[in-house]
Amino acid sequence: MRACRELGISTVAVYSEADKNALFAKYADEAVFIGPPPSSQSYLNIDKIIKAAQETKAEAIHPGYGFLAENTLFAKACEDNGIVFIGPPASAIDVMGSKITARQTMKKAGVPIVPGIEAGVSDPDEAVDIADNIGYPIILKPAAGGGGIGMKIVNSSEELLPSLTSSQSVARSAFGDDTIYIEKYLPEPRHIEFQILADKKCNTIHVSDRECSIQRRHQKLIEESPSPIMTEDLREKMGSIAVNAAKAIGYVSAGTVEFMYSRGDFYFLEMNTRLQVEHPITEMVTGVDLAKEQILIAAGENLGYSQNEISIRGWAIECRINAEDPLNDFTPAPGKIRRYRSPGGPGIRVDSGVYTGYVIPPYYDSLISKVVAHGRNRNEAIARMERALYEYIVVGVRTNIVFHKAVLRNDRFRRGDINTHFIREENILESVKEVAEKDYEKGESLASALGADTRKIAAISAAVGTYMSQTSQQKAGGKV
């Protein structure tokens, strides 16, 4: 909607009962109510969304990051009703929707894939032979899957059959499809992805790379661009392979080609056929407004950039701020935000959907904002992020800000020595406790005093500032 405002395009938001006070619904020029909180009756209801577009005479629909963004039925429904879907063709979503057809197509296009099979396992004896050939450990993955659901690491042939049965049953209930395939299980994998832009005239470019290895239970928490291991040579190599991957499926719009990087080798993992949550770090280092490019591409315009016009400047890091309790197994923490002040200053971008007095509903995911720090190099980006998190005040709900503080001060993170097992290997939850003890000492005493009286809350929020200015003296590095 910000891109539309810059382009002089008016906007319509659809919202459910749970989002009637949400910022996006207020920001839009018009907002259409589409039903009760459960997404099956609102954000996943294709008919209601198409009807809202027709009633308001919307010419195009941007599907956002989740819900129907990668749903071919929705893309087709838009097309059938003469509404432009701001995204890829349904056929491209389809190919990448099954990991097996994705692997087959990528292999044919000369894109390196993780050693394994390009078909579902049909019979268990065959699976044992295949696994012996690949060599243990292997990983079982559901073809229809995503988000790590139903994946199983297998270390020996004895474990294979029970693991296969278990993966199949999880896949069947989660995706309605129990097709499982086998890959070699890679050691110390880093998740590195390339941003793609493609227009309708077959111009396809990459907009550099992102490192997304800091994740917990397959949920990304911190992303950065560029990847700490990236060199110009490697970027050119991986980037041109990512472009080939997109071209092989006739891709149009913004998309992401994900790779696993392990001990010097890299392999195609999957392609996300949507704009992603972490796209702002790419915008910060390249200056490209990805959402605006998507809209212009959907309108039939040529790409605004050629490959050699894309360059990166400095470093960007994103922390996803969730309303959840990192000290209680990251349980979602919906509720009323009693006091809110987001950070600012040099190099900081905050994309947020909340404000003081907002009640975070319990129905959807717990992301409340994305803090992005840009600096001339990685160290400056980290320092700015730490400063931004120090400034960030959220009173009323628990957030994972303490988690981010714990990661940012970790030595291995600071060296860029990360992989997808970082949070477990570094026992980050222990250091979260240490950070939280210090943070919550102030927070607890404030929170306990938070009654219903708004005057009192205002006084307490002033006290937060006072307290913070006192503790800031403890910093090393001299005094000014």
* Nearest Cα residue to 299 out of 84, 478, 66, 62: 84
Pattern of binders to ligand MV4 over 88-127, x per CB under 6 A? --------------------------x-------------
Nearer to ligand MV4, 88 or 189 (CB): 189
> Least distance (Å) from ligand MV4 to the CB of residue 292?
29
User: In sequence order, what are the residues at sequence separation of 6 or more whose Cβ sits closer than 8 angstroms to the Cβ of residue 464?
Assistant: 339, 393, 395, 442, 446
Which of the residues 103, 210, 235, 274 is marked catalytic? 274
Q: How far is the CB of 386 from ligand MV4 (least distance, A)?
A: 25
Subset of residues 246 to 265 that bind ligand MV4, contact rule: CB under 6 A: 260
Tokens of 153: 């690491």
Lay out the site mask for ligand MV4 across 211-230 (x = CB under 6 A, - = otherwise).
Answer: -------x------------
In the complex with ligand MV4, the residue whose CB is nearer, 16 or 276, is 276
Nearer CB in complex with ligand MV4: 154/394: 154
Q: How far is the CB of 183 from ligand MV4 (least distance, A)?
A: 4
Nearer to ligand MV4 among residue 35 and residue 145 (C-beta): 145
Considering the complex, what minimum distance in angstroms separates the CB of residue 75 from ligand MV4? 24
Minimum distance from CB of 180 to ligand MV4 (Å)?
13
Phi, psi dihedral angles at 225 (to 5 degrees): -140, 130
DSSP strand pairing (339-341 vs 393-395): antiparallel
Greatest distance between any 2 Cα atoms in the chain: 71
Residue ranges in 130-189 that form contacts with ligand MV4 under rule CB under 6 A:
139, 148, 151, 153, 183-186, 189
- In terms of CB distance, is 198 or 260 closer to ligand MV4? 260
184 vs 200 by CB, closer to ligand MV4: 184
Q: What minimum distance in Å lies between the beta carbon of 85 and ligand MV4?
A: 26
**Is 274 noted as a catalytic residue in this protein?**
yes
Nearest CB to ligand MV4, comparing residues 85 and 185:
185
Pick the closest to residue 438 from 409, 415, 479, 478 (CA basis).
409
Site size toward ligand MV4 (CB under 6 A) is 13
Amino acid letter for position 257: V
The answer to whether the beta carbons of residues 70 and 93 sit under 8 Å apart is: yes
Segment 396 to 425, residues that bind ligand MV4, using CB under 6 A: 420
Measured from the CB of residue 400, what is the shortest distance to ligand MV4 in angstroms? 18
Cite the active site residues.
274
* List of residues contacting ligand MV4 (CB under 6 A): 114, 139, 148, 151, 153, 183-186, 189, 218, 260, 420
